[in-house]
Structure 1
């Protein structure tokens, strides 16, 4: 078996997968320090670009959106973008581990000192998926019972000692906070919901093959998450999908000769991003901040409504038309940030479009104007793709008849929510 050809070493940013319309022929990008273009001829390409997100804090600054852009522009179908991860975090700093702390006695309290999630689910209380806990937070704040506090006072001293972080960024966090007089485990601290990243991804088969011959997807670049939180799941899917997609790509390469790489076409695609290099303009970080603001609105992030999602799409269109053409990158490093910003605009568009289309509630997707699950009409995947420059959306029935294990219980049925407020 021939060895796969590796890209030149260095901090390269890949911007496009190049195809001949049906098959992969290679990829293009640029060096993130010098801006030098790079052209890669390849019979197969594997996208393992993580997922896309909105960079809400220093802890969540890595889930960029370039893989979404690369796949979209290559012609891949994209699925499940109406599901995105909403977490709950301290207002003043980042912290991990709540799903380990809650079973050990930690609680979310309202301003009356009530363990309020027991009202919404006597069975689970706050030992629930964070999408449901944050939904409870919003209900409490609406009822005048905010702010929401996280309280570890019911934990045993032994459990506090076990759960106190000592290594990595969490250990550094704890050390610095205590030096400032703030002890996470000894004080009631205010928490809030936070939108993080998409659960959507590239449509691919079990071997990672996409609709583009020679293009494979692995890890969170695909859409393997179920729309709710599963701790440790990312490690599992990274190992398994990376292995299967890598083997499938190798088999494809062995069975197919190289196809011509149209460098002129590739250069034209690359110039779409290189033309921003060396010019002043709107800073990429401001565009990402704008998209983060769109996604963080209460009627978009979690308690979704048609009005909120439509307002968000109007803002995305405004940014795309008025601000993206005015972006600038003084150097190659900033050009990488610019590509990330334009990709985040695309990601936000895909998410809002899919969420507006799904007129029901399911898993972590909650439409306050359609609060019930609608299996009769919505036991389907929502897929989107770019066809001749047009944005197309369609649904695909979930093939339950092919599943050896069929769902008969739904997690969401363990929760009861107040009637939504009436529209003005």
Structure 2
């Protein structure tokens, strides 16, 4: 039987950061990932990491910007940790070998991302994701952390109320194996593939959220979904926020820099949800073109492209045959990152003892109703490290082999049932596309009660159809069809939670926009939505926002408009 003190599920930024910190704390660590770590969705990040390194900035100012972007639904204790620890984390990354762009004095450079009042986002041109992922993986190899590449976790082992390990399927052989341990950290990342137009890679299917929910852990604020304003037309491929930070303009079809009518003080550096609202309004009122507005970078100059936007220029030339030095770039908002996720405390602990979570599959309340540009990677680093340290310090008894053998048999029975179904004309990919279209249409950036109720009914029907799907490929080895079906079942479950949460929150705040409730309602909705499955039944409850010393009235209203 395989055993590790700490089992990390997910090989992106948060997962590898958690694995390294758990190893540094003296734990034996195993890292399980359904794709090789260097192929994780984290590699698609082109942006930067917030940290108050400059003399004109402070962690307190960073907190204030984070709270305003989150429309004060943030848990302030988590925000304080995030912002205080940022400088320490940048130092740690430099010590690991991370290369950051430098200013004329040789110091780490910083630029201004959406929602920030000062330049605090450190970067590596527009290639930070690739570089950071390489740095973390090299350290994983150096520390001899065992990785289980292309293993997919199908269930958590919860024994006597404690998480004791996982059941995982090796893609190469099709074998189901138990990996037992004292603690498990879920760091499985995004759920963007629930949507059709998304910046997320194919691996973002909400695996960790579904694993935790089925095991009895709570999910929180699942109604909040962040859109990126500038995705390439129809592709969903993100044009990095660096393009706007370097001075790129957004234009409507008339050539007007339309954000002067929505956020005149900060223009393209307004919080993302403000920019998204403006773009959707321009398009709906006829000032867009083919569902898009335009990103104008023609005035930036060759030096900016060669030094800071090299990868962006290459992608546009290669995929779209567009030269950003000469051409306007058609862009549209696309689903980017979930705000909601597995409910954790500031140490990464979920509501199940022995189970931790970090990164985009988790939520400790740091981001509130909308994530500040540059805070996502910071969250991965800070709370990934903290989750690893917390998990390494957790002591629990190991389950005996007899108990775990029973779990393995149950899981084999489940997979045997999937492969024994009669073949149907419907393939998993067909239902996956149907689900994504439903989410785009009714649970996207604009929502209302009839649409959400329709989505709920359609998803219930899709879920029933999913349970009858048969597989053409009955083999266990390298079975991508089976993998897609397992992912689809998770996607159906999580989409249902998102719809229920969105239907119940009768206000508009940050990245949750109800056309039938267009205003923010602090009197009734300054609280977190908590979803839990109890005895097979879905339940929603609410918890209060954690406040420390930051007051919305003193700092100014949030930025919802």
| Equivalent residue number for residue 259 of structure 1 | 399
| Equivalent residue number for residue 302 of structure 1 | 445
Q: CA deviation at 1:143?
A: 1.6
**Mapped contact 1:201–1:220 kept (Cα < 8 A):** yes
Q: CA deviation at 1:392?
A: 0.4
Q: Which moved more, 1:381-390 or 1:97-106?
A: 97-106
Q: Which moved more, 1:333-342 or 1:8-17?
A: 8-17
Task: From 438, 459, 462, give the equivalent of 1:319.
Answer: 462
Q: Distance in 1 between matches of 2:214 and 2:412?
A: 12
Provide, for residues 98-122 of structure 1, a one-character-per-residue CA deviation record: whole Å limited to 9, x for no partner: 5322244422222222222222222
Task: From 358, 361, 376, give the equivalent of 2:505.
Answer: 358
Shift in alpha-carbon separation, 1:128–1:343, aligned structure 2, 3 A: same
Equivalences for residues 3-402 of structure 1 within 5 A: 3-4=28-29, 9-54=148-193, 56=197, 60-88=201-229, 89-93=231-235, 95-147=237-289, 148-166=293-311, 170=312, 172-177=314-319, 180=321, 182-223=322-363, 224-253=366-395, 256-260=396-400, 261-277=403-419, 280-281=423-424, 282-297=426-441, 299-328=442-471, 330=473, 331=475, 332-400=479-547
Shift in alpha-carbon separation, 1:38–1:226, aligned structure 2, 3 A: same
Q: CA deviation at 1:192?
A: 1.9
Q: Normalising to structure 2: TM-score of the pair? A: 0.66
Q: Which moved more, 1:267-276 or 1:71-80?
A: 267-276
Q: CA deviation at 1:393?
A: 0.4
| Equivalent residue number for residue 404 of structure 1 | 549
Q: Distance in 1 between matches of 2:187 and 2:162?
A: 18
Shift in alpha-carbon separation, 1:378–1:120, aligned structure 2, 3 A: same
Secondary structure, aligned partner of 1:277: helix
**Mapped contact 2:166–2:180 kept (Cα < 8 A):** yes
**Mapped contact 1:131–1:302 kept (Cα < 8 A):** no
Q: Which runs of 5+ in 1 are unaligned?
A: 416-424
**Mapped contact 1:43–1:259 kept (Cα < 8 A):** no
Q: Distance in 1 between matches of 2:446 and 2:235?
A: 24
Alignment: residue pair count: 404
Provide, for residues 154-199 of structure 1, a one-character-per-residue CA deviation record: whole Å limited to 9, x for no partner: 4345434444324xxx565244247x4x213311232222223422
Secondary structure, aligned partner of 2:269: coil
Q: CA deviation at 1:292?
A: 1.4
Q: Normalising to structure 1: TM-score of the pair? A: 0.86
Secondary structure, aligned partner of 1:45: strand
**Mapped contact 1:28–1:270 kept (Cα < 8 A):** no
Q: Distance in 1 between matches of 2:152 and 2:463?
A: 22
**Mapped contact 1:132–1:364 kept (Cα < 8 A):** no
**Mapped contact 1:66–1:339 kept (Cα < 8 A):** no
**Mapped contact 2:199–2:237 kept (Cα < 8 A):** no
Q: Distance in 1 between matches of 2:521 and 2:339?
A: 20
Q: Distance in 1 between matches of 2:468 and 2:337?
A: 25
Q: Distance in 2 between matches of 1:94 and 1:211?
A: 34
**Mapped contact 1:51–1:68 kept (Cα < 8 A):** no
Secondary structure, aligned partner of 1:42: strand
Q: CA deviation at 1:25?
A: 2.7
Q: CA deviation at 1:287?
A: 2.4
Q: Distance in 2 between matches of 1:154 and 1:232?
A: 24
Shift in alpha-carbon separation, 1:151–1:3, aligned structure 2, 3 A: closer
Q: Which moved more, 1:369-378 or 1:37-46?
A: 37-46
Provide, for residues 55-114 of structure 1, a one-character-per-residue CA deviation record: whole Å limited to 9, x for no partner: 646863332211111101110010011111212312154554453222444222222222
Q: CA deviation at 1:346?
A: 1.6
Q: Distance in 2 between matches of 1:354 and 1:59?
A: 22
Shift in alpha-carbon separation, 1:220–1:59, aligned structure 2, 3 A: closer
Q: Over aligned residues, Cα RMSD in angstroms?
A: 2.6
Q: Distance in 1 between matches of 2:255 and 2:317?
A: 28
**Mapped contact 2:192–2:199 kept (Cα < 8 A):** no
**Mapped contact 2:313–2:323 kept (Cα < 8 A):** no
Shift in alpha-carbon separation, 1:185–1:60, aligned structure 2, 3 A: farther
Secondary structure, aligned partner of 2:204: coil
